[in-house]
Amino acid sequence: MPEREYLTASEVAKLLKVARYRVYEWVRDHQIPHLRTVGRILFDAIEIEAWLRRERGERQQEQSAPQGMN
């Protein structure tokens, strides 16, 4: 069975093209899947990829939703 790959907050920030503090905000607000272990916060690479696909899908749905009449 292949070993899972875990990313650091810096690696996730680079992958998502956001500042590292933004990743920590998402952790604090429970908006991104993560693990806390011995004083470290780690991110399962497979879970981050799935989370990113869900986030992108939700944004695309919001953008394509019909706008209410004003």
pLDDT in tens, 4-18: 899 999 999 999 999
pLDDT in tens, 21-58: 999 999 999 999 999 999 999 999 999 999 999 988 87
CA angle 53-54-60, nearest 5°? 90
Among 2, 3, 11, CA closest to 48: 11
Maximum Cα–Cα distance across the chain: 56
- 41 DSSP assignment: E
User: Domain 6-59 classified CATH 3.10.20.30?
Assistant: no
pTM: 0.78
